[in-house]
Amino acid sequence: MANGSKRKAALKTLGKVAGVAGSFALATAGAPGAAHAAKKAVEVVETVDNTKKIIAGGAAVIGAGLVGMKAMGGNAQDFLEAEPYWDQSTVPVNVYKNKAPFTGKVVSTKRIVGPKATGETCHIIIDHNGDFPYWEGQSWGVIPPGTREKDGKPHAVRLYSIASSRYGDDMTGKTGSLCVRRATYWCPELKADDPAKKGICSNFLCDTNPGDEITMTGPAGKVMLMPEEDPNTDYIMVATGTGIAPYRGFIRRLFNEDTPAARAYKGEAWLFLGVANSDALLYDDEFQEAKSRFPDNLRIDYALSREQTNAKGGKMYIQDKVEEYADEVFTKLENGAHIYFCGLKGMMPGIQDMLKGVAEKKGIDYDEWLKKLKKAKQWHVEVY
């Protein structure tokens, strides 16, 4: 086929696909992933003719569809963005402090694990009326009510990673959520949980009801933020248990919402989560739904210690699961990927030993390699 005919055919195909995608975006105004669906249409046509003008033309058609979507009342998540969206100079930090905290109200508290999970984990949505902004990867401080028995002073602040994007679960920008495991102590003598030794704050949060007030501080931290300037950045997210919280915010922002970050993102987000068993998996339904729409951009691997065995025949812990992909993880980091760790600090030695082994096989000085990653801000750790 002559060049001119080929270009005309490609443009015609692009027009059809872009039109369908634009119509779909309009028809599903505000629905999670509508903008992504439109964007993917252009990527499909790119294989017909890799011509910048064709792609630009398609993008314009899609853009017009998205503008129409907003005009029809779509809930595009763009009203809490920096300018440009990846600029981190305006990240809110410690807006509310211990002496002048914020009072939020519980919208809902829901158990999110199955009956065979080890312990109880709750998802708690808190209404802040848009007065307590935060970014994905940050934490809220919670001051439980009452005083300490030993000295009668108010309880200290407990930090919890925020489990939602900045737009909240309802995408209004007026709520945020926490993922909290109820801390209990099993007394071997009583053969029951000892209420005198239960976690003060986690039990308070898991026992809340709609309308209850929560005294809060923050938002805290910048170490777990996503560097969004390069949309091709790969994110490797390693979590144990409730350490999943910040990654839920990441995944919602990149794959479930109509954000500038989502429209631009072309990298791979790779989630590793370690829990005891299938009943203890957190937000799996959300993650699998997002993965079904973006199989090339979202990857998920679970380590279920009571259901799976590692290569040596022992229990499968998070470090064992990451080790299965050691070379690939190492290569991604060499190519600029960012790796995040959130959860129990006990996972760190095993993962670092594994990476050190890979480095040695490649003749690379591990300590220097790690120092380089940290200097480039590719290494993000928030463990407890």
CA diameter of the chain: 86
Question: Do residues 247 and 300 make contact, with C-beta atoms less than 8 angstroms apart?
Answer: no
344 is in an annotated binding site: yes
**384 catalytic residue (yes or no):** yes
**382 catalytic residue (yes or no):** yes
Query: 3-state secondary structure string, the chain?
Result: CCHHHHHHHHHHHHHHHHHHHHHHHHHCCCCCCHHHHHHHHHHHHHCCCCCHHHHHHHHHHHHHHHHHHHHCCCCCCCCCCCCCCCCCCCCCCCCEECCECEEEEEEEEEECCCCCCCCCEEEEEEECCCCCCCCCCCEEEEECCCECCCCCCECCCEEEEECCCCCCCCCCCCEEEEEEECCCCEECCCCEECHHHCCHHHHHHHCCCCCCEEEEEEEECCCCCCCCCCCCCCEEEEEEHHHHHHHHHHHHHHHHCCCHHHHHCCCCEEEEEEECCHHHCCCHHHHHHHHHHCCCCEEEEEEECCCCECCCCCECCHHHHHHCCHHHHHHHHHCCCEEEEEECCCHHHHHHHHHHHHHHHCCCCHHHHHHHHHHCCCEEEEEC
111 is in an annotated binding site: no
181 is in an annotated binding site: yes
215 is in an annotated binding site: no
**342 catalytic residue (yes or no):** yes
Angstrom distance (rounded) from CA 247 to CA 165: 9
89 is in an annotated binding site: no
Angstrom distance (rounded) from CA 251 to CA 239: 14
306 is in an annotated binding site: yes
293 is in an annotated binding site: no
242 is in an annotated binding site: yes
Catalytic-labelled residue, pool 122, 136, 161, 283? 161
Catalytic-labelled residue, pool 134, 160, 265, 340? 160
**307 catalytic residue (yes or no):** no
* Binding residue ranges for NADP(+): 161, 181, 242, 305-306, 315, 343-344, 382
* Binding residue ranges: 161, 181, 242, 305-306, 315, 343-344, 382
Residues involved in catalysis? 160-161, 342, 382, 384
